[in-house]
């Protein structure tokens, strides 16, 4: 049986990275680890470590993404909560067996990690990401 290891990150959708960093970096004093272009998700992501987890600022690079739609509707804000799991394939199978609605029924593979999203209609309105770090 798959297990949740920790909260990996909280993702915040932002329309502009520089103006967002005036709060997270400048006012809160958090350090940016790195900024990464994620072409498969059509986004730019700023990684800000906080203890064993991260805050991720996500800016869409295309208007045809879920994050862009979220920003257009809500102006930005908390986009999703990500749980790191030990076996994403087993976790997805278990959730599917329990009738949980999944956005990704199989994990997407990115360099060094696998990820999948659980539909907010099954979680009480929170978009949940599952994440497995490659060993």
Query: What are the structural domains, with CATH classification, of the chain?
Result: 4-133 (3.10.180.10)
User: pTM for the whole thing?
Assistant: 0.91
Each residue's pLDDT, cut to its tens digit, for the chain (135 residues) gives: 899 999 999 999 999 999 999 999 999 999 999 999 988 889 999 999 999 999 999 999 999 999 999 999 999 999 999 999 999 999 999 999 999 999 999 999 988 999 999 999 999 999 999 999 987
CA-based nearest residue to 58, from 118, 111, 9, 121? 9
């Amino acid at each position: 049986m798959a297990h949740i290891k920790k909260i990996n990150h909280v993702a915040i959708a932002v329309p502009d990275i520089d103006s967002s960093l005036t709060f997270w970096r400048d006012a809160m004093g958090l350090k940016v680890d790195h900024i990464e272009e994620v072409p498969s998700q059509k986004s730019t992501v700023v990684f800000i470590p906080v203890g064993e987890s991260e805050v991720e600022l996500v800016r869409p690079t295309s208007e045809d993404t879920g994050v862009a739609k979220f920003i257009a509707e809500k102006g930005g804000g908390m986009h999703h909560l990500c749980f790191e799991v030990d076996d994403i394939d087993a976790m997805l199978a278990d959730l599917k067996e329990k009738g949980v609605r999944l956005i990704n029924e199989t994990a997407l593979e990115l360099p060094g990690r696998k990820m999948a999203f659980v539909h907010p209609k099954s979680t009480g309105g929170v978009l949940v990401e599952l994440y497995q770090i490659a060993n």
